[in-house]
Amino acid sequence: MRILEVKDIPLAVALKKLRESEAKGLPIKGIAKRTMELAMTLVKCDSAEELYGKLLELGLKGLTVSMIVDVAPKNLDELRTLLNFEPANIPEEVQLKVLELVSTYCR
């Protein structure tokens, strides 16, 4: 297995891609295996790719969206700690929309 591109993605998406590779008979070892094991215990969102897309549509950076999908914040305080990579203050109505989407797609 080779790294072809580097991109910020949620753990759930990484897990899906690793499972697809495993299903194709590709060996999963080293850091990929550890990532897969970690993701299986930490993933909180069943439809992470759909949530990722919806959050990107709100104008958030990919890194921020990945962290939001991985952590699945439950309140504004938890969410605000994940907004450090955004260049400007995110309006509260957008923050509330993020929390609404997270509660819809994550457990």
**Percent of the chain having pLDDT more than 70?**
99
Tell me what pLDDT residue 34 has: 93
pLDDT at 1: 63
Read off the pTM.
0.83
Angle between helices 62-71 and 92-105 (to 10 degrees): 50
| Whole-number pLDDT of residue 104 | 94
Q: Determine the pLDDT at residue 69.
A: 96
What is the rounded CA–CA span in Å between residue 80 and residue 73? 9
H-helix or E-strand containing 36?
helix 31-42
Q: How far is CA 102 from CA 88, 92, 93, 106, in A?
A: 21, 15, 14, 6
Q: Is the pLDDT of residue 3 over 80?
A: no
Q: Which pLDDT score, from 0 to 100, does residue 80 have?
A: 95
Would you kindly state where each structural domain of the chain is located, as residue ranges? 11-42, 48-105
**pLDDT score of 60:** 95
pLDDT of 21-48, one tens digit each? 999 999 999 988 999 999 898 888 889 9
Task: Kindly state the average pLDDT of the residues 87-99.
Answer: 93
Distance of alpha carbon 66 from alpha carbon 70, whole angstroms: 6
Strand stretches in the chain, DSSP E: none
Q: Which two tokens stand for residue 97?
A: 């929309």
Phi-psi region of 12 (alpha: psi -120 to 50; beta: other; left: phi over 0): alpha
